[in-house]
Structures are given as C-alpha cells and as structure tokens.
Amino acid sequence: MFDALKGLGNLGGLMAKAREMQTKMKEVQDELGRKQDSSDAGGGMVEAVVNGRLELVKLRIDKSKIDVNDTELLEDMIVAAVHGAQVKAAEMTKEEMGKVASDMGLPPGLLPQG
C-alpha cells in the first residue's frame, strides 16, 4: 500500500530540478532571440535575416537586381529567402536545444525546439 508513496521523498529534489530546467530554458530562449541566421534568393536579390525564435528581423532587397514591373518574382524571392533563413535558424535552435538536453542528462529531442 505504501509502495506507491516511496517516490514522494524525493519530491523536493524533483521540484528543484524542474526549476533549474525552467531557468535554463529561459536563458537559452533569450540567447536564441539574439542569434541570427540569414539566407538570400535570386542571386542576392533578396536577403532575409531570422533570429533563433524564427522571427524575421531584417529584409534587404537589392534594388539594382529587381524589375519593378515584376512584383510576382520579387514576392517569390522574398518568400524563398525568408523560408531559407527560417530553415537555417530552426536547425540552429535544434542544435542548441540538443546541447541543453545533453547538459541536463535528458535524451535528445525531449526539450521543445522553440
């Protein structure tokens, strides 16, 4: 009957570990918000910069490489550049979270990726 209660003796330790993990996650998320990755499309026509939270933080359009009458091409290049930067930033985030999980002795993939 009391076998189910044996694990409660370590409840304080578990709570401390949970708080430590929460603090570490907040630190990593803050750090990822400062890290950036970029991608370009159309041979440098458009460059997008995304942070580790996958937020678009900068978009650069090289006016010398665009045709102002071909807005459809420009739109496609913007989408491609943003997507490329998001893919790179997502991989960076995955690597950072993997490091945190490893440091905490957790199996890879257990922590959220962003």
Q: Is residue 5 part of a domain?
A: no
Q: Is residue 80 part of a domain?
A: yes
Per residue in 52-86, pLDDT (tens digit) is 999 999 999 999 999 989 999 999 999 999 999 99
Percent of the residues in the chain that have a pLDDT greater than 90, as a whole number? 51
Q: Is residue 1 part of a domain?
A: no
Q: What is the mean pLDDT of the chain?
A: 85
Instruction: Please give the model's pTM, rounded to 2 decimal places.
Output: 0.73
Per residue in 99-108, pLDDT (tens digit) is 877 877 777 6
Nearest to 95 by CA among 37, 38, 55: 37
Domain containing 36 — which CATH number?
3.30.1310.10
| Domain total in the chain | 1
